[in-house]
Amino acid sequence: MIGESVRRPDMPGKVTGRAQYAGDLSLPGMLHAKTKRSTVAHARIKRIDATKALAYPGVKAVLTHHDVPRVLHYGSPHPRSASVTKDQYILDSRVRYWGESVAVVAATSEEIAEEALDLIEVEYEELPAAFTVEQALAPGFPPIHERADNLVVDPVVVRRGDVDQGFAEADLVVEGTYAMGRPTPAYMEPNVCVCRWDDDRLTVWISTQTPFMVRGSLAEVLGLPHHKVRVLVDHMGGGFGAKQDLFQSEFLCALLAQRTRRPVRMEFTRKETFLGGRSRHPGTVWLRQGFKKDGTITAREARVTFNSGAYGSHAPGVTAVGTAALTSLYRCDNVHLEGRCVYTNTPIAGAFRGYGVVQTYYALDIQMEEAAERLGMDPAELKLRNAVREGDLSPSGHPIIGHGLEDCIRRGVEEVNWKQIRGQGRKTENQEDSDPGPIRRGWGMGCEMHGSSAYPGIKEQGNATVRMNEDGTVQLFTGTTGLGTGAHTALAQVVAEELGVRFEDVSVVHGDTDVVPWDIGAFASHTTYMGGRAAQMAAAEVKEEVLAIAAEALEASPADLEIRQGRVRIKGSDRGISVREAVSPKKGLPTKQLIASASYTPTKSYSFAAHFVEVQVDTETGQVDVLQVVPVHEIGRVIHPVAAEGQIEGGIQQGIGHTLTEDYIVDPVTGRSLNAGFVDYKMPLSMDMPPIRTIILETAPDPGGPFGAKGVGEDPIIAIGPAIANAVYDATGVRFRHYPITPEQVLEGLRQKRKG
Amino acid sequence: MKISLTLNGEARELEVEPCRSLLDVLRNEAGLPGTKKGCDVGDCGACTVILDGKPVNSCLVLGVEAEGREVTTIEGIQPAPDRLHPLQEKFMQLGGAQCGFCTPGMIVMAKALLDENPSPTEEEIRFGIAGNICRCTGYTKIVEAIQAAAEEMGK
Amino acid sequence: MRRFEYFEPATLGEAIGLLARYQGRAQALAGGTDLLVELKEQLRSADCVVNLKKIPGIGALAFDAREGLRIGALVTAREIELSEVILRLYPSLAQAARELGSIQVRNRATIVGNVCRASPSADTLPPLIADAAQVTVNGKNGERHVPLEDFFTGPGRTVLSPGELVTELRLPAPAPRTGKVYIKHGRRKAMELATVGVAVSLSAADVRIVLGAVAPTPIRARRAEELLRGRKIDASSIERAAQAAVEESRPISNVRASAEYRREMVGVLTRRALTKALEATR
């Protein structure tokens, strides 16, 4: 069962349209809520008047900052963690970015709610606005929040060994500044929630990765006890990390429902998923490394600067994780890293698949290629030489297990015939006998590693309860949320495997905070690793109880028994009984409740990847097309191959977008969003995506994960970016140190190269 | 306004505001929330339905324009209550769906594609679904599922 | 969408009457793939929407070897894309239609709608102008004909007054061995608004080069045409014509591309389009 692509139980609903998403829910008397958003980037609200809107036929409630509790909230308050910031009011008398919510309306139809928005009068007193990190840090620029220096939190500093010594020993020093644009997750299901009050109890249907965070935040802000708040998550249309936060909308929806005493649905438009959602942190990475002649890295110094946007959200976590990642991937004993995150009056950056590591490893991997060139080495060789391995200290402070990264590099190099295929772009150009035309092709590779779990920033906990029913079927109660990755199916496979029952006999109960055990939420690639391990542990306990009961019936010792495919058998013999027979109620005898709970606090496990990419560059238009991708991933143990491949292929789509075509742009003068929609925020579509030949290795299983399994969700989006940039270099000889790489920049780069 | 239409093979009468899109009418008045709203402006294809035999973005059709027409949504794709369409089988089997939000529109579009072209090349498939955005799968397994369904249907 | 009044006139006269009565506050609805988007994004407002699709006689696509092509107001982009005669005789128009939006959009979007929306980057405009299309306008004062290249007055603006409707496009029958090419420049392979569009119609008798998305309206690159009209067309004259086209273009910079890049692409695309059209004439 482990390693088998079983049919996912959520699939029939999804392919028939019967699967319910939060926006599909219709409740009697339900009202529709719409949000009025600011049309200035930074301002005090001098006056906001909703009188006309309130009087509009069909409108049942309007809320402005005058009408809501003045309480700061975290967004996503992972408890005991330093990952997030508490700097946002439900509605404030001040707006800090173009598009921030200033008022909400609940009405009997969407059309009426929209029309009512036009009747809300707002007067702004504009304040100076900073749209870039430089502007926000300029001496004398006023604070956007409390801190005078416009940093979200104190800078992160990571030091190991002695960098000065390291650089002194270096034969070669390479230095560069790398710049990152602003991609957004662009999940297909816009953010949505429905709130209903029953007396003093609140029920929330919502698309969120963190239902217990939603419960906790709503309870805190609204002054409710947790047992009076119930959060329900059924199917979700994607999240990619960004649906961890609370977006003012949840509080506002709950308050509107409270005021009107009717259920209220608040659904973002696509444009609002940009304005009110979360993007990846744009920023820069200054990186300097020292190398010996043989390629060994002697020292590494970095300054990471991220643009947080108008609020902090996950600034602390992303900055810490992204910066600390630079202690690793390619081994280096002497590092000095600093990371900081800066407020600006732009849309909010938050958690997004890869969590700061997309940015820092883009820089690191590309710089390795620059070093390889100057050292006269094959970049694959240089990366292999320095790849972290068994025993090395990981960013979390734990020793790396196995040689996963080396395995990925070696396998990929062999698979694509690396040594033969490179340099074709240059060869084509040097052909003098025929006109090579404007097309150049090239191959590149990019490496990465990523941890499952948010340790040590957050000491997470996975909880699971496994219950065997009186007919031998099993239910797993898990607090982990289902983003759509198939993780719940994997958990069921783990339980079935551990218990020895058939996959069909296990079902997963999830998505109701009144019923399932507490869970921190689905993120950090930890559902299979952490949730799965907890499920395995709980299943193991139930198994012991089943064996004890069966042992009595079979007159054997539990140690002599095994369970397979739902049958308890004496090892080495045919004698046995079905699980069902063993546990079913016997006449006159009480039924024992077979139930066990387990709690797992993981440390960290690291997965690895090396992506090999072929690109094609049209040197007349500057267009870059990705022709094929061979991603090699080491993930310990594959639970569900199709689901694992799906994560890899999907992450590659997002990464190709990041690197070549996706950038959420803000007007440099007004701060207005210029491309908050799918016309001008350009994601790769079916005709833009290349064939992908996924290779999965299981050479470095982690005993901390169920059956050795590690995470895979974030790895692909990290490795693909540098692979593309490096392939473009192979094709054209032009080095890019930023993303996205636009056709205009390719042409400019080619022009510069021809001159110089 | 009152409209009559044939919806998934069934005659329906609905009371509809002119300013409401067919997408909203399907999801609300018609009680069929299977068709999804990904962008509401024709950029993503999540709302694809078949209107008089042609795949369209239902967010760009007014509900009232469906008067007298035949509409097929994801809820009407399977040939019988106990039998799924080969596209639905293959999407499930081969990983053509992850979060599932683009899936109704994708399957409806794929069905329209196969109805017109029963054995498309990979290029023709990618061209056919160019207006359907998926953010989870990278399209590889969607294309495989459509190819497998075409093969299955060709037998 | 904000609420509006809705009409389905049964005749052209009724439709014209409604549009005239509501002045600029009525919007005509054919395919709806521009109108509904703009209503939702509040780029346009409508007190009333006039659905044209019940009007008889404006939905035909017809070709006659002498009269040429007639495209009725309700003909969709998908019909154009799949029409055998258009693929054969007006291939640049077929190519443009094929690259407009997605199949779902093309099943609704009308060519005449694309024309009336008058976006400077609209795909069908350069090939239609290169093919010397004429617009048939119907209004209170009867029918008039306007050459398509004179139909546009600015971005999103045409010579139509409130109460006027375009009922048809007419294209002359092509001379034998005319090379017709449309090349669209975009960042992705589908679902794109052209950052630059170039259409070329090349025959022994004439050369027409039309540029889209590089001026407030689609424009003829007349100086480029002059360099080729009646001259030998080869790689070097094509190169000179492409350069002239670059100089004639007046693009703006926006989130899609900078003016400099667009100008450069005019040169690349004009050269490629002319080269391809030349091949088709052989």
- Rounded to two decimals, the ipTM of the complex is 0.98
Find the CB nearest A685 among C41, C191, C255.
Answer: C191
Query: Residue C162 — pLDDT band, cuts 50, 70, 90?
Result: confident
Tell me the pLDDT band of A648, cut-offs 50, 70 and 90.
Answer: very high
Residue B140: pLDDT above 70?
yes
> Does the distance separating the beta carbons of C41 and B62 come in below 8 Å?
no
Residue identified by tokens 């993007």 is A279
Joined together, the tokens standing for residue A284 give 């820069």
Establish whether the linkage from the previous residue to C127 is cis, with ω within 30° of 0.
no
* A623 in contact with chain C, both atoms CB, cutoff 8 A: yes
The answer to whether the CB of A181 falls within 8 A of the CB of A661 is no
A547, A561 contact by CB (below 8 A): yes
Q: CA of C195: which chain A residue's CA is closest?
A: A680
Domain locations in chain C? 5-51, 61-171, 179-281
In chain A, what are the domain boundaries?
403-448+606-756, 462-600
Among C264, C272, C275, pick the best mutation site for testing chain A contact (most A Cβ within 10 A). Answer: C264
Average pLDDT, chain C: 96
Place of tokens 């002695």: A162
Cis peptide preceding A347, ω within 30 of 0: no
Report CB contact under 8 Å: C101, B131: yes
CATH 3.30.1540.10 fits C179-281, yes or no: no
β-bridge pairing A335-343 and A121-126: unpaired
Q: Is the dihedral of CA B19, B22, B26, B27 positive or negative?
A: negative
Counting every residue written for chain B, the total comes to: 155
DSSP A267: E
Its CATH architecture, for the domain A403-448+606-756, is 2-Layer Sandwich (3.30)
A462-600: CATH topology is Aldehyde Oxidoreductase; domain 4 (3.30.365)
**Any bridge partners for residue A238, and if so which?**
none
Q: What confidence tens digit (pLDDT) does each residue in C239-261 have?
A: 999 999 999 999 999 999 999 99
Give the angle subtended at the CA of A288 by the CAs of A283 and A294, to the nearest 5°.
Answer: 140
Structure token pair of residue A339: 């990371």
pLDDT value at residue A433: 54
Nearest to C80 by CA among C104, C101, C96: C96
Q: How far A706 CA lies from chain B's nearest CA (Å)?
A: 22
Q: Give tens-digit pLDDT for A29-77.
A: 999 999 999 999 999 999 999 999 999 999 999 999 999 999 888 766 6
Residues of A in contact with C261 (CB under 8 A): 622, 743-744, 747
- Any residues with CB less than 8 A from the CB of C228 and at least 6 apart, and which? C207, C237, C238, C241, C274
B26 to chain A, any CB pair closer than 8 A? The answer is no
Sheet with strand C207-212: strands edge to edge = C179-185, C196-202, C207-212, C219-220
Quickly count: other Cβ atoms within 10 Å of residue A59's Cβ: 22
Q: Could you read off the pLDDT of B59-80 as tens digits, one per residue? A: 999 999 999 999 999 999 999 9
- For the beta sheet containing A474-478, the strands, ordered from the edge strand earlier in sequence to the opposite edge, are A506-509, A474-478, A462-468, A594-600
Rounded to whole angstroms, the Cα distance separating A662 from C92 reads: 30
Q: A156-215 pLDDT, tens per residue?
A: 999 999 999 999 999 999 999 999 999 999 999 999 999 999 999 999 999 999 999 899
DSSP helix/strand/coil, A516: coil
Asked if the Cβ–Cβ distance from C104 to B48 is below 8 Å, we say yes
The arrangement of secondary structure in C61-171, i.e. its CATH architecture, is: 2-Layer Sandwich (3.30)
pLDDT tier at A80 (50, 70, 90 boundaries)? very low
Residue B145: pLDDT band (50, 70, 90) is very high
* Terminal CA-CA length for chain B: 46
Task: Select from B17, B62, B131 the Cβ nearest to the Cβ of C32.
Answer: B62
Query: Å from C187 to nearest chain A CA?
Result: 7
Cβ contact C189–B64 (<8 Å): no
User: What pLDDT is stored for residue A487 in this prediction?
Assistant: 86
pLDDT tens digits for range C59-118: 999 999 999 999 999 999 999 999 999 999 999 999 999 999 999 999 999 999 999 999
Task: Compute the Cα dihedral for B34, B40, B42, B45 and give only its sign.
Answer: negative
Query: Which two three-digit tokens encode residue A480?
Result: 């982990």
Cβ contact, residue pair A674, C264, below 8 Å? no
pLDDT in tens, C180-198: 999 999 999 999 999 999 9
- Interface residue B120 vs chain A (CB under 8 A): no
What would you measure as the largest C-alpha separation in chain B, in angstroms?
A: 46
- 3-state class (DSSP) for residue C58: coil
Interface residue of C3, C104, C189 to substitute, partner B, most B CBs within 10 Å: C104
In CATH, which of 3.40.190.10, 3.30.43.10, 3.30.70.270, 3.40.50.300 is domain C5-51?
A: 3.30.43.10
Pairing of strands A439-452, C48-51: unpaired
Determine the average pLDDT of the residues in A436-454: 91
In chain A, what percentage of residues exceed pLDDT 70? 96
Q: Look at C255 and A675 and tell me if their CB atoms are within 8 Å.
A: yes
**CB A342 within 8 Å of CB A152:** yes
pLDDT band at A432 (very low <50, low <70, confident <90, very high): low
What is the rounded distance in angstroms from the CA atom of residue A131 to the CA atom of residue A151? Answer: 14
Distance CA A453, CA A704 (A): 11
Looking at residue A635, what is its pLDDT? Answer: 96
Per the CB < 8 Å rule, is B37 touching A686?
no
pLDDT 10s digits, C209-237:
999 999 999 999 999 999 999 999 999 99
Contact A483, A511 (CB under 8 A): no
Name every chain C residue with its beta carbon within 8 A of the beta carbon of B64. Answer: 6, 51
* pTM (whole model) above 0.90: yes
Cβ separation B98–A486 shorter than 8 A: yes
- Overall size of chain C counted in residues: 282
Give yes or no for B42 touching A (CB within 8 A).
Answer: no
How far away is chain C from the Cα of B49, in angstroms, using its nearest Cα? Answer: 9
How much is the pLDDT for A425? 67
pLDDT (0 to 100) of residue C282: 85
C257 touches chain A (CB under 8 A): yes
The answer on pLDDT for C278 being more than 90 is yes
HEC letters along A394-424: CCCCCECCCCHHHHHHHHHHHHHCHHHHCCH
Cβ contact B19–C4 (<8 Å): yes
**Which tokens go with A30?**
């339900």
* Domains of chain B, CATH where assigned: 2-76 (3.10.20.30), 86-154 (1.10.150.120)
Are the folds of A403-448+606-756 and A462-600 the same?
A: yes
**Contact indicator for A576, A546 with CB cutoff of 8 Å:** no
pLDDT digits (tens, 9 = 90+) for A94-129: 999 999 999 999 999 999 999 999 999 999 999 999
Using the beta-carbon criterion (under 8 Å), do A678 and B39 form an inter-chain contact?
Answer: yes
Closest by CA to A620, choosing from C276, C185, C253, C182, is: C185
CA A38, CA A42: separation in Å to the nearest integer?
A: 9
Q: Do A686 and B38 touch (CB under 8 A)?
A: no
Give residue ranges of C with CB < 8 Å to any B CB: 1-6, 29, 31-33, 36-37, 40-41, 49, 51, 53, 78, 101-105, 107-108, 189-191
Cα distance from B123 to chain A (closest Cα, Å)? 8
Query: Are C40 and B56 within 8 A, CB to CB?
Result: no
A380/A482: higher pLDDT: A380
Q: Which residue has the tokens 């008397």?
A: A29
Q: What is the largest CA-CA distance in chain A?
A: 95
Q: Rounded to a whole number, what is the distance in Å from the CA of A653 to chain B's nearest CA? A: 5
User: What is the phi-psi region of residue C57: left when phi exceeds 0, alpha when psi lies from -120 to 50, beta otherwise?
Assistant: left
The distance of A654 to chain C (nearest Cα, Å) reads 14
Q: Say yes or no to pLDDT of A16 above 80.
A: yes
**Chain C interface includes B48 (CB < 8 A):** yes
Q: Which residues from chain A sit within 8 angstroms of residue B35, using beta carbons?
A: 17
